[in-house]
Amino acid sequence: MTAPIRENLAAQMVALSGWHPEREGLIDPLAGSGTIVAEAWGWARGVPISRTIPAWLGRPATAPLRPDLHPQILALEDDAKIRPSLLRSLKDAGLPAECAVGADFRSFEPSRVRELITTEGGIVLTNPPYGVRIERTDDELSELYEDLRDWSFALGPGWRIGLIGLPEPIEAVFGGAPKMKKPMRNGDLRTYFYLYG
């Protein structure tokens, strides 16, 4: 289980990742309620921010700028209690329900990913547990981060990973030389966005 991420942070992660939706896939292996994939879908298709403006303000909803772009996005979530929220988020954002798969990424083989995401490469973009709000031991966090690293790079060349979190567990597993390390405040936590690969 992961703590939810705010929409503005998810949108920043998508923008910082350098994702090219017309030629790259995007996967969130710890999707939770789907905020990252929903923001990625909207960003890729040019859905205006005004989509969140309540109708009672009298502003019309605007169509996506790129309605014909259908980026290849995959959201993995193994917690059956969270999946209804994930499916709701996908529906609200306009993503097809097939984008969500009820599976633990560790048991979801890269060959299965390649059946669903047919691009040559892409970005694994996620908000893993930090061990703060949802308690995990240091060993559990290290094991999860190692599994995430190994799984992401097993997808093949052309794949990279972007994640937000605290420096200690990320740098201990992924290394201290990311392509990008950007401070991002997540509530009262001073977290960082890392990009590897």
What confidence tens digit (pLDDT) does each residue in 120-155 have? 999 999 999 987 756 678 899 999 999 999 999 999
- 143/4 Cα distance (integer angstroms): 21
Tokens of 54: 């309540």
Reported pTM: 0.89
pLDDT band at residue 50 using 50, 70 and 90 as cut-offs: very low
Q: Is-contact 148 105, C-beta < 8 A?
A: yes
pLDDT above 80 (res 52): no
Q: How many CB atoms lie within 10 A of CB 64?
A: 16
Q: Calculate Rg over the CA atoms of the chain.
A: 16
pLDDT above 60 (res 27): yes
> Which of the four CATH numbers 3.10.450.50, 1.10.10.10, 3.40.50.150, 2.10.109.10 does domain 7-48+65-196 have?
3.40.50.150
pLDDT above 70 (res 62): no
For the stretch 5-9, contacts whose Cβ atoms lie closer than 8 Å and that sit 24 or more positions apart, written own/partner, are 5/32, 5/35, 5/36, 5/127, 5/164, 5/186, 6/35, 6/186, 7/35, 7/38, 7/39, 7/52, 9/127, 9/164, 9/184, 9/186
- Degrees (nearest 5) of the Cα angle 25, 12, 105? 40
Q: Is-contact 17 195, C-beta < 8 A?
A: yes
Specify the pLDDT at position 4: 77
Residue 50 or 159, more confident: 159
Specify the pLDDT at position 49: 55
- 34/56 Cα distance (integer angstroms): 26
- Mean pLDDT on 181-195: 94
> How much is the mean pLDDT over the chain?
89
Tokens of 106: 């560790």
Calculate what percentage of the chain has a pLDDT beyond 70: 88
